[in-house]
Structure 1
């Protein structure tokens, strides 16, 4: 079923959340799982590698403290992840959501080979073929998410998990920010390189109706990192000189003021990124257009010499 309408997606998730809440298991983690090691921690809570005591299955356990977690937010994230988990490039779920005395939690497929950020070399990126292999799978995952009427909203290397060397197989994870298309977004918590400029300009409570173009922008930033080993800018605000130079390029076509990192990109790669990161969301290309550029070179032959300048 194709749920390109955000309203349909919202209704489907509301039904899933209601059913999940009615059947939420109560249990203590240590009764059923052996804790191996922590995989990650953030303001949301923590992710731990565990093994099922009876079956011996390794799993990733996401635990969110009840003291600072809204139950509906927990149910929402779990149901979004579950609804998307049958795609080969999206993390698999075990269909187990529960609450303990102190936490809400759910279990998903464990990635034992780190995430994409761990293989991006500063000043170098990753091998071009690996970047293309990664990009092809990311596009497939994002198209699937968009086909469900959802906007992922969190494209970044930390959320791309590796299941093989050189990006042979990658999977998207972490759906806490995913929302139905058309959802009004009024507040943006911090401007980062992946933040589309229309969100950076959100002020006076006006808000922006989120669309698939937000993921296209963030994908463009991620591809730049893979190719060059740098972020193109720190913030998508005119006060950032690197972003200001990008605006000049987008508006005039002149590449003269762009930082030297852009010179590592071929004409085809520049074209691909300029379309993904058009300043006007209505002119931004869909993520699927990346496929058109997979047979083109992305990095110039003498890129190491450029880097040493």
Structure 2
């Protein structure tokens, strides 16, 4: 167990001893709803004594384990010292119906709300977001913690131009090396290695599900790297690169074919040097359709973070070397995934989907 994990356990124990019962209306003026989801809701509030604006995160006590509440609060309080991590403000209490803690408020909403479907954000904005998220994730990883829920919904804006963003929602954070049951779900953010657990999801035979042995895996930072790559694609294009990372998803299979064919000794060269001395067109492997709109620099960036092998997948601290150059080829727009998903009856997910129970957690 890392020093950070031990400290987190100690802090949760101490917080449990000092958690106070309060009435929200006696200490805060609630302004409006910022977001809600399966976890509960987040309200913008003003502290009556100090006049400070903050976000109050409410967790229903009937559906929330106290230990989970304490862990999320203490992660945000003690370990989120990086400027691009949303920090708790040292206020935690309970009411007859909820557990509550206060955190920094993202007054400009979350990143999802700024993404224009099938268009995305300006390239410069996207690179600013990616740069800040890399710093935030590198900080968490250096402490032995893994976020495990990186997505646009959980990135909060402090200004409308993305000069300052904060990664939030630490309800899924685990210490690196923690053993957890593997979960597979149909989402572009779900890592390809999670498909080993797919049978327990897709099977309609309850007896078969019971016979299938639960798969346990170690929590690793490579999960965050994958999600960061998918998030970048979504922010840059307003689309997802694939509906899911499954063996029956044509869009993802097209990517795997390109990924495997693009491996060459040149992969070890400086990507910036390759821009000045590119391979002749006839020697280049065919690019996956949904990545054809990017420059070689951006393609190298995505292949770094979206490596199907978690053991060699790139890290957030490797990303700054891919920032600063052009990512979108002039005049290019995303390739509609319907063209490469024709074999799927339901069609492709070619834009950032409506959030389910979304909100600032």
2:158 to 155, 163, 187: 163
Q: Which has the higher contact order (CA 8 A, sep 6+)?
A: 2
Question: Unmatched 5+ residue regions in structure 2?
Answer: 199-212, 263-283, 340-361
User: How many Å apart are 1:255 and its aligned residue?
Assistant: 5.6
Q: Note the 1:1-309 alignment, pairs <5 A.
A: 7-188=2-183, 190-202=185-197, 204-253=213-262, 256=286, 258-259=288-289, 261-304=290-333
8 Å contact kept, 1:227–1:265: no
SS in 1 for 2:189: coil
Name the Cα RMSD after superposition.
1.8
2:180, 2:261 → 1: CA distance? Answer: 30
User: How many Å apart are 1:188 and its aligned residue?
Assistant: 1.6
1:64, 1:70 → 2: CA distance? Answer: 9
Greater C-alpha Rg? 2
8 Å contact kept, 1:191–1:200: no
Query: Alpha-carbon deviations, 1:223-262, whole Å to 9, x = none?
Result: 1112222101111111111111112222223863723x31
1:285, 1:189 → 2: CA distance? Answer: 21
SS in 2 for 1:75: helix
Superposition TM-score, scaled by structure 2 size = 0.80
Superposition TM-score, scaled by structure 1 size = 0.93
User: How many Å apart are 1:51 and its aligned residue?
Assistant: 1.3
2:285, 2:115 → 1: CA distance? Answer: 25
2:29, 2:222 → 1: CA distance? Answer: 42
SS in 1 for 2:51: coil
1:305, 1:104 → 2: CA distance? Answer: 43
User: How many Å apart are 1:57 and its aligned residue?
Assistant: 1.6
Going from structure 1 to structure 2, the CA distance change for 1:164 and 1:255 (only over 3 Å counts) comes to farther
User: How many Å apart are 1:84 and its aligned residue?
Assistant: 2.4
2:335, 2:195 → 1: CA distance? Answer: 31
SS in 2 for 1:289: helix
Q: Which residue of 1 aligns with 2:269?
A: none
User: How many Å apart are 1:185 and its aligned residue?
Assistant: 2.1
Going from structure 1 to structure 2, the CA distance change for 1:249 and 1:189 (only over 3 Å counts) comes to closer
Q: Is the deviation greater in 164-173 or in 195-204?
A: 195-204
Which segments of structure 1 move beyond 4 Å, counting only runs of 4 or more?
A: 304-307
Going from structure 1 to structure 2, the CA distance change for 1:102 and 1:57 (only over 3 Å counts) comes to same
Q: Is the deviation greater in 177-186 or in 297-306?
A: 297-306
Q: Which residue of 1 aligns with 2:349?
A: none
Number of residues of Structure 1 aligned to a counterpart in Structure 2: 302
2:287, 2:197 → 1: CA distance? Answer: 27
8 Å contact kept, 2:259–2:303: yes
SS in 1 for 2:49: coil
Going from structure 1 to structure 2, the CA distance change for 1:187 and 1:280 (only over 3 Å counts) comes to closer
8 Å contact kept, 2:196–2:215: no
1:39, 1:194 → 2: CA distance? Answer: 24
SS in 2 for 1:217: helix
User: How many Å apart are 1:89 and its aligned residue?
Assistant: 0.6
